Structure 1
Amino acid sequence: MQQPGPPRFCAVGESVELAPREPDPERASIYEWAVVDAPDGSAATAPEEAVWEFEPDQPGLYRLALEAPSGRFEQRVRAFPDVRRSASFDLERDRLPDHDPEEVSLMGPFNEHLFDREHPTLEDGVYSYELECQPGTHRYGYIAGEDFENAVWEELEVPGPGKPRVFLEGPEKAVDGSETTVTADATPGTDSEYDATDLAVEFYVDDRDELTDDDLEIDGHEARVLVTDLEEPVRLHAVAVGERHSVADCVLVSPDGRVERRNDPPAWARDAVVYEIFVRSFTDEETFESLERRVPYLESLGVDCLWLTPVLESPTTHGYHITDYFDTASDLGTREEFESFVDRCHEHDIRVVFDLVINHTAREHAAFDMSGACVPGYEDWYVWEDLEETGVDADDLAPEIGSENPREEYAPPARTTPDGETEIAQYYFNWRGIPNVNYDSLAVRSFFLEVVDEWVDVVDGFRCDVAWGVPHGYWKEIYERVKSRDPEFLLLDETVPREPEYAESEFDVHYDTTLYYALRDVGNGDRPADAVLEAARAPRREGFPEWSLHMRYVENHDETRYLEECGPDAQRAAVTAVLTLPGVPMIYYGQERGATEYRQLMPWEGDGEATTFHRRLVAARHESSALSRGALVDLEYEANADTVVAYARESEHDDETVAVVLNFGPGSERVRVDRGLEPTDLVTGEDRNLERVDGGTALEVEDAAVLAVADDG
């Protein structure tokens, strides 16, 4: 089926990538788009290519049509008003190392993290760059010349209301009668002037299904669906609309009236503790067999889910430069040995998440050589840009692809087209060794669908590298593809910075960069400890929907170790925060053994006390319904230092409430909370000296205390 997918939602000023699903690269010229209907004043016209980067120019509903080898299909795009505001991305000149002002550039999501493209103006000692941005937090970096490692990163808060949220519900069992009702729970965004009842809710039947919008009876936040004549389930989408529009939700309405939610993560993920392994540093032998022998250790930690850095063929130790997507790396072992390792993990109730790298390939991949040589059928496999548009000096180019030693020093890769033009392969940041593939190519889209199919039945989930570099529409196709085979399959995104749109039928769990940066700042003494709570509650402010899960961590394979940067006083508090806040906690290998280098060999002889602490934290989370699934609630507290923060987790199922008190500073701090507490620490198992004062409890906290709230508290 080459239908392009569900209705899409955006604002004027944004673009939506539209493309046929399961494309036939051999018949690319047959695909043809057309504009069937558009809002008044729109000048939208269709391109001649099969993949369309559609940019609505007026708010309203667009009806588009795709002629494909298998038939004609419609796709709708609902565009909402432009909410962007003018913003200035500034930096004081003296914050950059010694540099030439003519060589300063900046990057961020606004230019897809492309190196040396946007150049600021310098006035009165301040660099500035003006942009139109949506309300929210925007992270950006200033770079002097090519000194990317010493880039200065900042955040800019653009004022304005946050996105509203919507959650669809309906009968879970068959209904009597000819119709069923789907109800939208709509909530306004932060700083919105709308109340929940004032929000509009728009419902749309999926263009792939047998019903139309005219078959719906809309009454405010409810949609009644006639099911009498339904032969197949239909998908119903909805967005909440205030000053801005929400991430869309979707349910499946069956002919018997049952309503099934489509965006919810697998149930097992809500209680999971993830452990990341850098595969070539976890054991001395660096093989799947040696990993398999360590599975009992993983079980002893209590982790439920294992995330492996890439295990496919690659010339690098980290594995993110992939040369063969259909076989395991020869130094790690055979595919059979990898599958044996996965089976062993399953025997110990540990799921395995595979690192899916489809934003780029290695420069050593055969397809890149052929694309660089303009071999027919491969010319458009990668994003090639005109030399003059990239800011790259011609003297810095790598030798032409196809010549001797074309990858010397990983200089920017270049090719000469049949027309004699010099082009540069696009790459993000300073990642010259991993050129970006081109999703305008039907061959690329078809190729990576085969990659997904190759591994989806082998592992339990994909952690998707550089997810922000791959089009939303393609992730939606992958989401439906893997979930149709296994609804329990997990999709974890790496989106930096994070964006709520990836929760719309694309990913189950999202990198929580907001909490990560807050924990670093608190640990370094740059922010007070209560910034942790602000970050933990940020997903709602950022517009993430209710069903989204967030992976919370203090370090990973791309970052310096928290222990090395922030010290042991802060680390215990930070790790406790990750394991006691809502979300999906992640432990990076070696973190529990006192590792100080981000990809070092696992220090098996390391800090046994820290390992015991991590093990007990994981156990406490699993044993407490409040810590695993409870709501985050405020806890009134007093302390003399801003290195202290306290909060509570409250379970709805068994009336359990747990108080967490953290001290990121050196020494101990006396903290008073307004609740009565039980003396036994749920992590250490030891009784603490508590003092009942003023209707609450006072205690000394060196790093972390996790205590049940007393029944009379």
Structure 2
Amino acid sequence: MHQPGPPRFCAVGESVELAPRDPDPERESSYEWSILESPAESDVAAPTDPVWRFEPDEPGIYRFALETPAGRYEQRVRAFPDVRRATSFDLERDRLPAHDPEEVSIMGPFNEHLFDREHPTLEDGTYQYEIDAEPGTHRYGYVPGDDFENAVWEEKKVPGPGKPRVFLEGPGDAVDGAETTITADAKPGTDSEYAADELDVEFYVDDRDPLTDDSLVVDGRETRVPLGELEEPVRVHAVAVGERHSIADCVLVHPDGRVERRNDPPEWARDAVVYEIFVRSFTDEATFESLERRVPYLESLGVDCLWLTPVLESPTEHGYHITDYFDTASDLGTREEFQSFVDHCHESDIRVVFDLVINHTAREHAAFDMSAACVPEYEDWYVWEPIAETPTDAAALEAEDPRDDYAPPVRTTPEGETEVAQYYFNWRGIPNVDYDSLSVRSFFLDVVDEWVDVVDGFRCDVAWGVPHGFWKEISERVRARDAAFLLLDETVPREPEYAESEFDVHYDTTLYYALRDVGNGERPAEDLLEAATAPEREGFPDWSLHMRYVENHDETRYLEECGPEAQRAAVTAVLTLPGVPMIYYGQERGATGYRQPMPWEGDGEATTFHRRLVAARHDSEALSRGDLSPLECAADSDAVVGYVRETDTERVAVVLNFGGGSERVRLDRPLEPVDLVTGDELELERDGGSTVLEVSDAVVVRVARD
């Protein structure tokens, strides 16, 4: 209780949130940080508050002590050198609709997507905003005034090496001897000057465990752990280091020498096909009872994981404005009816994941009312910021109707200062909670405890808005209750840091945007292979899984934007590429509205196609777990791409045509004559060492053995 968690790893220029776990808000003054060790040139001073956004100013080891009501704990932070580079995020002025240059703002991950906070300069017809940014691809948007819907989004690639990666392994069974060995497999990042054997690997014993680093015998990529000193399991962490540091991996060493991996996702998730339901649009009645009656339909699709948009009390149709975290929405049904629905899903071997929304609450939540009224116990529950406008503007904000979601939520403090609640994008109806508050942290831990035994996982809304340290705490907390519990993050854009002892599955925004661009004819289809392998270049570790999709409840329908032929190709890509495929309700029925009522009378042919794709994935180990490699295929159109999924016993070729019509495609492999999805006999021509076939949208076929 209260111990602050595992050692943390970052670079100078980044911040790390440090906080007591499972805190007692009633004893806030009992938590006190002190600095035990820091680099010689560091000027870092200990904070006065229990939650600390620590920003290292020098590379090296920092060691801290935290006094708590339960005792004294230590935590280390390993800071690596700053790798950021001065970068200008630019946009030509004429790309924005009519606007006042004084009111243009820029938003992106560098300012947590906060609206109207950062403002560019205008030079020779180009808006410019310069900051230090790390190597990689950065997505940013320019917003004219308060017209968020007409923001113009761009990407900037900052050159430099990618993150290396590391993977720890050890014996899975008890060992006969005085020590056990952990081996690190280290791989360099993209564009790194380091070869794999030139990378350093640093090993650290968890500060919460009885051993110390001095107990480890490190020999290059191996470390030996003495077993004679172990009376309970200990955690060992490691990072690979080149120009940059990797995401840390962690293993648990048992007293008998067994080594257990700690970051691997639940085994069932590796083969899962997810189906997302927008809860109030899936059935006419929009109740748990009506959802339960549709479980046989879900079973017929072959999906084995159901993701539900929020089911807790909310004044909105979409449910992301939550007013009660401890009960189901009254219009959907009772908690008992929800439990019955979940039980029915389990009887059909379908796991249930639901939305955990803890970055914000609804403005109608009782805690927000009290925070807005400056009730002392709730004053710090939300992020309140001073209003920078003139007094006239501040008065105008206060005069706006507080029931209007488009009116910024404001309050007046006892000192007479006017403050506005922080919110992301233009989401004025869902103010951000403040994780500097021990009360907030304790409250949402109770929320997690309330539902962890009811469902099989959480899809975590706006995961990028909640501190990493809190996600690490949640991950350990739920896994202690259920080792098979799933955590899926919504991070836009995705970041590999969320794979470090936090989430199992990540939104694949990279492939999503590529599928849209290819379907619209804006990029060649071969770009999909680059997008599908992007996690390695982005520094995601080998154990991470990525949810791949063509649409979801926040996006326009792929069918409406790109057409039926491109959709069949895109859906085939999602269900035949590595990762965790997701089908958004109605996608398989020809839906064109992103939150429309489920078109049960819709496209039966498309439903059959989805059903057969899911079956093909489940029936083929190559399609679910095989390695991915390019397939040489010649066609007259750049809308065609091919690839192979391969295991030791099976090879499957996939050829996609996003262009509409039919393309004559020449492949460099012999193929079996039956499509694995449709069951149709393929008309194959042999021309020397090549195979020629017609592809209208998608072909999935086994490669013939030589």
The 2-side partners of 1:397 and 1:276 are apart by 38
- The letter of the residue matching 1:464 is C
1:103 CA displacement: 1.1
Superimposed CA distance per residue, residues 65-110 of structure 1 (whole angstroms, 9 cap, x where no aligned partner): 1011101100000000000011111111111111111111110000
Aligned position for 1:53: 53
The 1-side partners of 2:392 and 2:186 are apart by 48
1:392 CA displacement: 11
For residues 580-595 of structure 1, the aligned pairs below 5 Å read 580-595=576-591
The 2-side partners of 1:676 and 1:392 are apart by 75
Are the counterparts in 2 of residues 274 and 304 from structure 1 also a CA contact under 8 Å?
Answer: yes
Say yes or no: does 1:486 pair with 2:489: no
Say yes or no: does 1:656 pair with 2:654: no
Are the counterparts in 2 of residues 657 and 709 from structure 1 also a CA contact under 8 Å?
Answer: yes
Look up the SS of the partner of 2:279 in the other structure. Answer: coil
The 2-side partners of 1:280 and 1:396 are apart by 36
Say yes or no: does 1:646 pair with 2:642: yes
- The letter of the residue matching 1:530 is E
1:664 CA displacement: 0.4
Q: CA 1:345–1:389 in structure 2 vs 1: closer, same or farther (change >3 Å)? A: farther
The 1-side partners of 2:391 and 2:47 are apart by 28
1:123 CA displacement: 1.6
1:126 CA displacement: 1.1
Q: CA 1:517–1:646 in structure 2 vs 1: closer, same or farther (change >3 Å)? A: same
Look up the SS of the partner of 1:388 in the other structure. Answer: coil
Superimposed CA distance per residue, residues 417-447 of structure 1 (whole angstroms, 9 cap, x where no aligned partner): 1111111100000000000000000000000
The 2-side partners of 1:202 and 1:639 are apart by 49
Gaps of 5+ in 2: none
1:316 CA displacement: 0.1
The 2-side partners of 1:640 and 1:394 are apart by 61
Aligned position for 2:163: 163
Aligned position for 1:144: 144
1:267 CA displacement: 0.4
Are the counterparts in 2 of residues 203 and 236 from structure 1 also a CA contact under 8 Å?
Answer: yes
Aligned position for 1:711: 705
Superimposed CA distance per residue, residues 423-472 of structure 1 (whole angstroms, 9 cap, x where no aligned partner): 11000000000000000000000000000000000000000000000000
Equivalent of residue 695 in structure 2, options 688, 691, 701: 701
TM score, norm. by length of structure 2 = 0.99
1:222 CA displacement: 0.4
1:414 CA displacement: 0.5
Aligned position for 1:196: 196
The 1-side partners of 2:654 and 2:390 are apart by 50
1:673 CA displacement: 1.0
For residues 314-393 of structure 1, the aligned pairs below 5 Å read 314-388=314-388, 393=393
1:636 CA displacement: 1.2
Look up the SS of the partner of 2:192 in the other structure. Answer: coil
Say yes or no: does 1:612 pair with 2:608: yes
Aligned position for 1:676: 670
Are the counterparts in 2 of residues 117 and 390 from structure 1 also a CA contact under 8 Å?
Answer: no
Superimposed CA distance per residue, residues 109-160 of structure 1 (whole angstroms, 9 cap, x where no aligned partner): 0001000111111122111111100000000001111111111111100000
For residues 258-273 of structure 1, the aligned pairs below 5 Å read 258-273=258-273
Q: CA 1:125–1:100 in structure 2 vs 1: closer, same or farther (change >3 Å)? A: same
Are the counterparts in 1 of residues 394 and 418 from structure 2 also a CA contact under 8 Å?
Answer: no
Superimposed CA distance per residue, residues 589-611 of structure 1 (whole angstroms, 9 cap, x where no aligned partner): 00000000000000000000000
Are the counterparts in 2 of residues 170 and 258 from structure 1 also a CA contact under 8 Å?
Answer: yes
The 2-side partners of 1:109 and 1:160 are apart by 19
Say yes or no: does 1:433 pair with 2:429: yes
Look up the SS of the partner of 1:89 in the other structure. Answer: strand
Superimposed CA distance per residue, residues 480-537 of structure 1 (whole angstroms, 9 cap, x where no aligned partner): 0000111100000000010000000000000000000000011111111011111000
The 2-side partners of 1:409 and 1:226 are apart by 60
Say yes or no: does 1:209 pair with 2:176: no
The 2-side partners of 1:52 and 1:543 are apart by 27
Look up the SS of the partner of 2:388 in the other structure. Answer: helix
Look up the SS of the partner of 1:47 in the other structure. Answer: coil
Are the counterparts in 1 of residues 104 and 144 from structure 2 also a CA contact under 8 Å?
Answer: yes
Aligned position for 2:595: 599
Aligned position for 1:552: 548
Are the counterparts in 2 of residues 382 and 437 from structure 1 also a CA contact under 8 Å?
Answer: yes
- The letter of the residue matching 2:212 is T
Superimposed CA distance per residue, residues 287-317 of structure 1 (whole angstroms, 9 cap, x where no aligned partner): 0000000000000000000000000000000
Are the counterparts in 1 of residues 578 and 626 from structure 2 also a CA contact under 8 Å?
Answer: yes
The 2-side partners of 1:393 and 1:612 are apart by 57
The 1-side partners of 2:66 and 2:335 are apart by 40
Look up the SS of the partner of 1:397 in the other structure. Answer: helix
Aligned position for 2:682: 688
Look up the SS of the partner of 2:602 in the other structure. Answer: coil
Are the counterparts in 1 of residues 16 and 54 from structure 2 also a CA contact under 8 Å?
Answer: yes
- The letter of the residue matching 2:81 is P
Are the counterparts in 2 of residues 516 and 553 from structure 1 also a CA contact under 8 Å?
Answer: yes
The 1-side partners of 2:341 and 2:688 are apart by 56
Look up the SS of the partner of 1:296 in the other structure. Answer: helix
Superimposed CA distance per residue, residues 148-184 of structure 1 (whole angstroms, 9 cap, x where no aligned partner): 1111111100000000000000000000111000000
The 1-side partners of 2:214 and 2:137 are apart by 39
Aligned position for 1:17: 17
Aligned position for 2:514: 518
- The letter of the residue matching 1:685 is G
Aligned position for 1:63: 63
Look up the SS of the partner of 1:407 in the other structure. Answer: coil
Look up the SS of the partner of 1:280 in the other structure. Answer: helix
Look up the SS of the partner of 1:235 in the other structure. Answer: strand
Are the counterparts in 2 of residues 427 and 436 from structure 1 also a CA contact under 8 Å?
Answer: yes
1:407 CA displacement: 2.2
The 1-side partners of 2:307 and 2:670 are apart by 39
Gaps of 5+ in 1: none
The 1-side partners of 2:18 and 2:440 are apart by 15
Are the counterparts in 1 of residues 643 and 654 from structure 2 also a CA contact under 8 Å?
Answer: yes
Look up the SS of the partner of 1:382 in the other structure. Answer: coil
For residues 440-519 of structure 1, the aligned pairs below 5 Å read 440-519=436-515
Are the counterparts in 2 of residues 390 and 424 from structure 1 also a CA contact under 8 Å?
Answer: no
The 2-side partners of 1:381 and 1:573 are apart by 47
Aligned position for 1:573: 569
Equivalent of residue 420 in structure 1, options 416, 421, 429: 416
The 1-side partners of 2:155 and 2:559 are apart by 24
The 2-side partners of 1:389 and 1:644 are apart by 54
TM score, norm. by length of structure 1 = 0.98
Are the counterparts in 2 of residues 398 and 407 from structure 1 also a CA contact under 8 Å?
Answer: no
Are the counterparts in 2 of residues 639 and 671 from structure 1 also a CA contact under 8 Å?
Answer: yes
Look up the SS of the partner of 2:250 in the other structure. Answer: strand
- The letter of the residue matching 1:633 is S
- The letter of the residue matching 1:682 is L
Aligned position for 2:38: 38
